[in-house]
Amino acid sequence: MISFIGTYDCKADVKGRIMIPVTLKNQMAPVLNKGFVIKRSVFQPCLELYPMDEWNLLMEKMNKKNRFKKKNNDFIRRFSAGVKPLEIDGTGRLLIPKNLVSVAGISKEVVLSSAINIIEIWDKDSYEKVIDETAENFAELAEEVMGDDGDELS
């Protein structure tokens, strides 16, 4: 399992290409030759870049869903809408498909943000707005999500 670290400010050109910063590209080195999958985020106005191995693990989980349940079928359809395989080119650029550029509202200023095993791709203004909105309640969220250490005394 890969784990990415860091947040990187980048620029997108008019064709939707983003130059991957060297520090992040070095972290991606073990998975570069296998390719990536890009998709829209479920919860935020951003895109998610999955290394192919991580995507395949997720697809194994998705393939266990009963497609004869309407809610599962509806979820899978929406989840996979706009999904595309991608590669980083020889010069270290990532080409974001035009339809996904518009979905995420990506303009010239872009943020690549590590999210453990994937990279989130944000329009910079949207990223800063979401970070600001969640900052106020982050301590409560951290306690709720990470606070149960399993060592409570009875």
Residue 129, C-beta contacts closer than 8 angstroms, at least 6 positions apart: none
**CA separation for the pair 127, 55 (Å, rounded):** 23
For the chain, list residues with pLDDT below 50.
154
SS3 labels along the chain: CCCCCCEEEEEECCCCEEECCHHHHHHHHHHHHHCEEEEECCCCCCEEEEEHHHHHHHHHHHCCCCCCCHHHHHHHHHHHCCCEEECECCCCEEECCHHHHHHCCCCCEEEEEEECCEEEEEEHHHHHHHHHHHHCCHHHHHHHHHCCCCCCCC
Q: Which domains does the chain have, with CATH numbers?
A: 7-145 (3.40.1550.20)
Which pLDDT tens digit goes with each residue over 10-53?
A: 999 999 999 999 999 999 999 999 999 999 999 999 999 999 99
pLDDT, residue 82, reads 87
Joined tokens for residue 118: 């994937």
CB 86 within 8 A of CB 93: no
Give CA torsion, residues 90, 92, 96, 102, to 10 deg. -150
pLDDT, residue 154, reads 45
Q: Which residue has the tokens 């991580």?
A: 54
Q: Which residue has the tokens 């909105």?
A: 133
CB 122 within 8 A of CB 48: no
pTM of the model: 0.89
Q: Which residue has the tokens 């590209």?
A: 25
